[in-house]
Structure 1
Amino acid sequence: MRVLLIEDDPTLGRALQEFLTGQGYAVDWLAEGQRALLAIKNYTYDLVVLDLNLPDMDGLEVLRTFRQQGSQIPVLVLTARDALADRVAGLDAGADDYLSKPFELDELAARVRAFARRHLGTVIPVIEFGSISFDTVHRELRVAGELLTVSVREMSVLEILLSRASKVVTKQQITQALSAMDADFSENAVEVYVYRLRKRLEGRGVAIKTVRGFGYMLELEESA
């Protein structure tokens, strides 16, 4: 899932970018409203995390602007404005959720995961396919009941394939979902993660099939 973080505080912005990246998301961090509007116009995002106190324009104006332009990107407002009137104004402007500062990182992570489940088209906390069981809340992967430790990127690739199990997912779709504008992430990297996942899933009854010219598909092995 690709996230646009709009936060003008450099310390907090950097910390949140690192934290969300560590959770498996591709995160672009911008500090100005005008630059954020340009990014929303030119890139595809699955979630916007928006601070309201920006140096060049009010965050609510940023929100109203891209809503008026027809954007339906989910928005989590993240701000020190915690009065009832402020929360109402944020939701009326088009926000989907509102988290007041200061906040706990665990709560932020839980709210972002909720948006991620919506993006994947499911509100089921555990996705199961064959011998695979993936807990989307606690980010735990089990194969045949055994806890499997994989890297954050590997888990993100597998989650995308699981969300579309038995359907083809293109390399471009995976790359776009996991790429940030300042990150060196390519279709070649996707191939590497898929190769590693294949090795980990060998003999487990589930396989990642290459559909030449298109991408990959998670499927049950015939012997399973």
Structure 2
Amino acid sequence: MKVLLVEDNNDVGEAVERRLIAAGHIVTWNRDGQHVDDALEHDPVDAVILDLTLPAADGMTILRQIRRRWRDLPVLVITAKAEIDDKVSLLDLGADDYLVKPFDMREMEARLRALVRRPTGHFTSVLQSGDLALDPDGRIVTVAGRVIDLGRREFGLLEALMAQAGRVVSRERLMSRLSDLEDGGSENALELLVSRLRRKIAGSAAEVVTVRGVGYLVRTMQDAQD
């Protein structure tokens, strides 16, 4: 896909650009937020990654301009933690999804792919795998529309897996995530957590699969057949 990156921070911009180019995408990098609408008019893209804090423009204004002229163009906003209170405004203005800095480049790429794959229209940050859905904002998980009760660590594990649905997430990365959530992650704790999570999502079209010696992934029955 072709992506317009609007980001003034060189470190973040270079990391995003490098990740997307390595994945085979084309990236146009706007470093100050000026003339974004003109750039889109003359060089259409499949998606926009938009930072809110820019030296020469206001991210909210840019988002409003994009949505006014390109209603169905996917826009992934990247924002600082201090701006997270603006998330309702972001969605109201037409952001399709958002990530809070610092973020994992693999998650960014996965979310961007998900936005581009979805039908045109406005989107949410809900992660979906078959009939299994996870809403990071509302902290709600459903199977075929039925809410299931997950603990904090179970939710964090499932979110990390679903952010890269269909791809293996290493045990080390998952243990690091659990360590951030609670007082340290270990291989035994991870295995027990995976076992509990499997029981709770039993009956879903999605499953947590062990990739021996590497890690885990979430996939649907259809993914397994493909």
So what's the TM-score if we normalise by structure 1? 0.51
Corresponding position of 2:10: 10
1:144-223 correspondence runs (5 A): none
Q: Quote the Cα distance in structure 2 between the aligned partners of 1:59 and 1:42.
A: 20
Distance 1:42 1:137, change over 3 A: farther
Alignment of 1:93-132 (within 5 A): 93-118=93-118
Does residue 33 (structure 1) correspond to residue 28 (structure 2)? The answer is: no
Against the structure 1 CA distance between its residues 60 and 116, is the aligned structure 2 distance closer, same or farther, given a 3 Å change threshold? same
Return the letter of the residue paired with 2:100.
Answer: S
2:181 counterpart residue number? none
Aligned mates of 2:12, 2:69 — CA distance in 1: 29
Distance 1:18 1:138, change over 3 A: farther
The CA deviation at 1:76 is: 0.4
Q: Distance in 2 between matches of 1:71 and 1:4?
A: 16
SS at match of 2:34: helix
Distance 1:22 1:3, change over 3 A: same
Aligned residues: CA RMSD: 2.8
The AA in structure 2 aligned to 1:117 is: R
For residues 77 and 39 of structure 1, what CA distance do their matches in structure 2 show?
Answer: 18
Structure with the larger RCO, 1 or 2 (CA within 8 Å, 6+ apart): 1
The Cα shift of 1:116 comes to 3.5
Cα shift at 1:109: 1.8
Q: One-letter code of the match for 2:78?
A: L
CA distance in 1, matches of 2:91, 2:82: 12
Query: Are 1:76 and 2:76 matched, yes or no?
Result: yes
Provide the residue aligned with 1:19 in structure 2.
Answer: 19
Q: Distance in 2 between matches of 1:103 and 1:118?
A: 22
In structure 2, the CA distance between the partners of 1:10 and 1:119, relative to structure 1 (3 Å rule), is farther
Quick one: percent identity of the two aligned structures? 43
Unaligned runs of 5+ residues in structure 2 are: 121-127, 130-163, 169-226
Deviation at 1:69, TM superposition (A): 2.4
Q: Which runs of 5+ in 1 are unaligned?
A: 126-135, 141-224
Counterpart Cα distance in 1 of 2:166 and 2:25? 15
Distance in 2 (alpha carbons) for counterparts of 1:73 and 1:67: 8
Deviations 1:93-127 (A, max 9, x none): 1100011001111211211221232379xxx98xx
Tell me the secondary structure at the aligned position of residue 3 of structure 1.
strand
SS at match of 1:98: strand
Q: What letter matches 2:41 in structure 1? A: K
Change (3 A) 1:21 1:87: same
Q: Secondary structure at the match of 1:34?
A: coil
Distance 2:116 2:72 in 1: 15
| Counterparts of 1:112 and 1:119, CA distance in 2 | 13
Question: How many corresponding residue pairs?
Answer: 129
Matched letter for residue 12 of structure 1: V
Q: Amino acid of the residue matched to residue 14 of structure 1? A: E
Q: Aligned AA for 1:3?
A: V
Measured against aligned partners, the alpha-carbon deviations of 1:149-176 in whole angstroms (never above 9, x if no partner) come to xxxxxxxxxxxxxxxxxxxxxxxxxxxx
- Aligned residue identity for 2:54: L
Task: Determine the C-alpha separation between the residues in 2 that align with 1:92 and 1:80.
Answer: 18
